[in-house]
């Protein structure tokens, strides 16, 4: 997983799913042992890394579906903690 947000996540994978496919993500956020199991839909697929430094590696953008209130709070707390850990990212709060 790269780039977690409250709306979804970008994931890298050896085999990329097709757009529109429904998937189930299972993951833990840093600092918490609870396993999140979230339904998502593939909204875009990036098959080529256009630039080795300035672009994301091949992967897919997934939008969360029916995210529970508890999972939303956990993700928001994780993002907030990450942003607070570095002055460069505090501007996004």
Q: Which domains does the chain have, with CATH numbers?
A: 8-92 (2.40.10)
The torsion angles phi and psi of 7, rounded to 5 degrees, stand at -85, -30
Q: Which residues are paired to 10 by β-bridges?
A: 2, 61
pTM of the full structure: 0.83
Q: Answer positive or negative: Cα dihedral of 63, 68, 74, 76.
A: positive
Q: What is the pLDDT of residues 46-92, one digit of tens each?
A: 988 776 656 788 899 999 999 999 999 999 999 999 888 888 877 77
Segment 36-54 mean pLDDT:
85
Token pair for residue 14?
Answer: 């050896």
Please say if the pLDDT value at position 2 is more than 90.
no
Distances 52 to 56, 57, 81 between C-alpha atoms, Å? 8, 8, 28
Please say if the pLDDT value at position 17 is more than 70.
yes
Segment 25-33 mean pLDDT:
91
pLDDT of 45? 93
């Amino acid at each position: 997983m790269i780039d977690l947000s409250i709306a979804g996540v970008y994931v890298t994978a050896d085999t990329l799913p097709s757009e529109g496919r429904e998937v189930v993500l299972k993951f833990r956020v840093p600092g918490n042992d609870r396993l999140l199991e979230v339904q998502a839909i593939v909204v875009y697929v990036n098959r080529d890394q256009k630039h080795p430094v300035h672009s994301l590696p091949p992967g897919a953008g997934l939008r969360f579906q029916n995210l529970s209130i508890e999972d939303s709070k956990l993700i928001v707390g994780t993002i907030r903690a990450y942003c607070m850990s570095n002055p460069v990212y505090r501007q996004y709060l």
